[in-house]
């Protein structure tokens, strides 16, 4: 008897390999933050170049997520995973060897493109290989990777720089991806199943005009945000208007492609006819505004305000990463039973934890604040682990397998936009309050954390609304095997 992909005995080993690769791509979003002073000391460059080392990666990453997911759906996820992983490893080596700041920016743009192509293959492969409650466990592992990679980046970056020295340590932030990526590539050749996707021709399967329209819309949203520290919001605000116009044109075009019976880049019925997908994507995007925006603020506060080293700064936020790692794995096992109640509980815990951090920063400022906020950060991390993996599972549960890659890519695109918004807003608030209060860093941290709580509370409201909607649909007490449950073909 031939085993189906869902019954493949190697599926958990394959998942471990693909998640390791995905972890590297997501980690590189945050790990470079603490390396910026090392980069400027090693190869020079102004503040704008240093900012683009971080922002360029995030921008390229967000631009290609949906296109990468569509390519995986059409051409096979294994093939796209291997191509993207090879490109990511090569661009990591290129970034590590960069002789100038300008070359490093180019390398980071290309590395971001490779990571954006790689990431949606993970969610697509989970849809292919797992069903029912087992899929929830797999997405629990995926959620752990998303949460931990964001939170642990500053710790690993600080540790690498401490080991290899401030002048050249930044190069090893990129070089460390090379041996891990090569090993993952070799293992993926052996373990990731061949039989995903169908033979296809690019010209027939890929909607190139849709790619251009969606890419332009995402670029118009992200560019002002990633340039926010160089007055990007003031100079480029008009791009948001362009994004709305181009986004409207993209939706009209995709509907026209569907009416003609051709494969769209992103079938808009994902948002209009797939139960739970639109609210789940909205919850993820808004939550990432608060969740991902706090890390730069913490780095600024601990290093500039308290004089911590990069490693000390990273260790100060480790409790969040530990809590997220443990709770995401547990939540993945419970999502089939508890459904959307997990995310509602998790969002409540995150809001409370960050609110206590704000209160402690206000009432108990001092060099030991990193220790003082450890417990509320741990609580917030536990809540965060209860948000990401269950929300991913519940958002994708009714997406047909043939569209799993593009659906995962669209979900991740929302999270990248949320990350950019949150980072721009929280960092701007922090930097505005420090001079306004004559260097009162604890007050700036407190107000920034309250802004993050505001984003999380909005996500909580969306979660409660979706919980009620699921109860009306009768789906919150069971996790369906929904590979063919979508209401459209």
pLDDT tens-digit series, residues 169-216: 888 989 989 999 999 999 999 888 875 445 556 666 677 788 888 888
224 and 301 share one domain: no
Residue 57 to residue 423: CA distance in whole angstroms? 14
Q: Is the pLDDT of residue 341 over 80?
A: yes
**Domain presence at residue 425:** yes
Residues 433-456 have a mean pLDDT of: 89
pLDDT at residue 317 tops 70 = yes
H/E element, 359:
helix 340-363
152 is a domain residue: yes
Residue 8 CB coordination number (10 Å): 18
CA–chain centroid gap for 424, Å, is 16
Arithmetic mean of pLDDT, 118-145: 78
Other Cβ atoms closer than 10 A to 102: 13
Q: Report the pLDDT value the prediction gives residue 30, as an integer from 0 to 100.
A: 74
Q: Is 134 found in the same domain as 246? A: no
How would residue 2 be classed by pLDDT, with cut points 50, 70 and 90?
very low
Helix, strand or coil for residue 223? helix
> Which one, of 355, 284, 314, 290, lies nearest residue 142 by Cα?
284
pLDDT at residue number 459: 95
By CB atoms closer than 10 A (0-12, 13-18, 19+), residue 50 is buried
Do residue 172 and residue 60 come from a single domain? yes
Average pLDDT along the chain: 82
Looking at the domain assignment, is residue 292 inside a domain?
yes
Asked if 41 and 185 sit in the same domain, the reply is: yes
Domain-located, residue 326: yes
Q: Based on the domain organization, do 215 and 341 belong to the same domain? A: no
Residue 242 inside a domain? The answer is: yes
Of residues 38 and 118, which shows the higher confidence score?
118
Cα distance from N-terminal residue to C-terminal residue, the chain: 29
- Local structure of 198: helix, strand or coil: coil
Which of 288-297, 343-352, 457-466 shows the lowest mean pLDDT across its residues?
288-297
Question: Cα dihedral sign for 279, 283, 284, 289?
Answer: positive
Tokens of 35: 């390396």
- Buried b vs exposed e over 198-223: b needs ≥16 C-beta within 10 Å? eeeeeeebbbeebbebbbbbbbbbbb
Query: Residues 389, 139: contact at Cβ < 8 Å?
Result: yes
Judge if 252 and 275 occupy the same domain: no
Which range marks the domain in which residue 25 is found?
8-191+265-473
Q: State the Cα–Cα distance between residues 29 and 31, nearest whole angstrom.
A: 6
Residues 374 and 433 in one domain: yes
Residue 482 lies in a domain: no
At 345 the pLDDT is 95
**Is the model's pLDDT at 366 over the cut of 80?**
no
Q: How far apart are CA 139 and CA 125, in angstroms?
A: 11
Is the torsion defined by CA of 439, 446, 228, 307 positive or negative?
A: positive
Q: Choose one of 264, 297, 329: the last residue of a domain.
A: 264
Q: How far apart are CA 356 and CA 376, in angstroms?
A: 6
Residues 330 and 442 in one domain: yes
Q: Does the pLDDT at position 3 exceed 60? A: no
**Is residue 198 included in any domain, yes or no?**
no
CATH number, position 328: 1.20.1250.20
| Cβ–Cβ under 8 Å, residues 216 and 246 | yes
Mean pLDDT of 123-128: 80
**Are residues 287 and 181 part of one domain?**
yes
- Flag whether 480 is in a domain: no
- Where does the pLDDT of residue 229 fall: very low under 50, low under 70, confident under 90, or very high at 90 and above? low
DSSP letter at 170?
Answer: H
Please indicate, yes or no, whether residues 324 and 419 belong to a single structural domain of this protein.
Answer: yes
Do 149 and 253 fall within a single domain? Answer: no
Domain count across the chain = 2
Q: Are 302 and 231 in a shared domain?
A: no
Confidence of residue 482 (pLDDT cuts 50, 70, 90): very low
Collapsed DSSP state (helix, strand, coil) of residue 206: coil
């Amino acid at each position: 008897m031939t085993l189906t992909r869902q019954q493949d005995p190697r599926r958990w080993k394959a998942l471990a390999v693909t998640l390791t690769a995905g972890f590297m791509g997501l980690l590189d979003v945050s790990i470079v933050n603490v390396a910026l002073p090392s980069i400027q000391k090693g190869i020079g460059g102004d503040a704008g170049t240093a900012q683009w080392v971080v922002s360029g990666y995030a921008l390229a990453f967000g631009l290609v997520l949906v296109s990468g997911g569509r390519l995986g759906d059409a051409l096979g996820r294994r093939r796209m995973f291997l191509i993207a992983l090879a490109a990511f490893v090569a661009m990591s080596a290129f970034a590590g060897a960069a002789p100038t700041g300008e070359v490093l920016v180019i390398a980071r743009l290309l590395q971001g493109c490779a990571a954006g192509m790689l990431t949606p293959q993970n969610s697509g492969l989970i849809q292919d290989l797992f069903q029912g409650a087992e899929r929830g466990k797999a997405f629990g592992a995926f959620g752990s990777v998303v949460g931990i990679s964001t939170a642990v980046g500053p710790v690993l970056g600080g540790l690498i720089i401490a080991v290899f020295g401030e002048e050249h340590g930044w190069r090893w932030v990129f070089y460390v991806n090379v041996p891990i990526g090569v090993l993952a590539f070799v293992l993926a050749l052996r373990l990731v199943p061949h039989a995903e996707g169908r033979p296809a021709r690019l010209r027939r399967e890929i909607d190139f005009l849709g790619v251009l329209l969606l890419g332009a819309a995402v670029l118009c949203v992200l560019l002002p945000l990633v340039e926010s520290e160089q007055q990007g919001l003031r100079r480029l605000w008009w791009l948001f208007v362009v994004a709305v116009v181009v986004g409207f044109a993209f939706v009209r075009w995709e509907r026209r492609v569907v009416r003609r019976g051709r494969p769209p880049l992103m079938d808009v019925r994902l948002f209009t006819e797939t139960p739970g997908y639109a609210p789940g994507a909205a919850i993820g995007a808004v939550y990432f505004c608060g969740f991902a925006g706090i890390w730069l603020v913490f780095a600024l506060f601990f290093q500039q305000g308290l004089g911590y080293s990069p490693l000390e700064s990273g260790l100060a936020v480790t409790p969040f990463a530990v809590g997220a790692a443990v709770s995401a794995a547990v939540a993945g096992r419970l999502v089939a039973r508890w459904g959307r109640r997990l995310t509602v509980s998790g969002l409540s815990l995150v809001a409370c934890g960050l609110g206590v951090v704000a209160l402690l920063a206000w009432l108990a400022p001092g060099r030991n604040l990193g220790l003082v906020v450890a417990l509320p950060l741990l609580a917030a991390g536990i809540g965060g682990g209860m948000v990401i993996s269950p929300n991913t599972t519940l958002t994708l549960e009714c997406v047909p397998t043939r569209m799993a890659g593009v659906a995962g890519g669209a979900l991740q695109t929302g999270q990248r936009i949320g990350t950019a918004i949150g980072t721009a807003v929280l960092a701007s608030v922090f930097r505005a309050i420090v001079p306004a209060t004559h260097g009162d860093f604890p007050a700036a941290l407190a107000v920034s954390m309250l802004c993050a709580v505001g984003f999380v509370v909005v996500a909580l409201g969306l979660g409660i609304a979706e919980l009620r909607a699921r109860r009306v649909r009768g789906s919150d007490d069971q996790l369906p095997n929904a590979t063919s449950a979508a209401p459209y073909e």
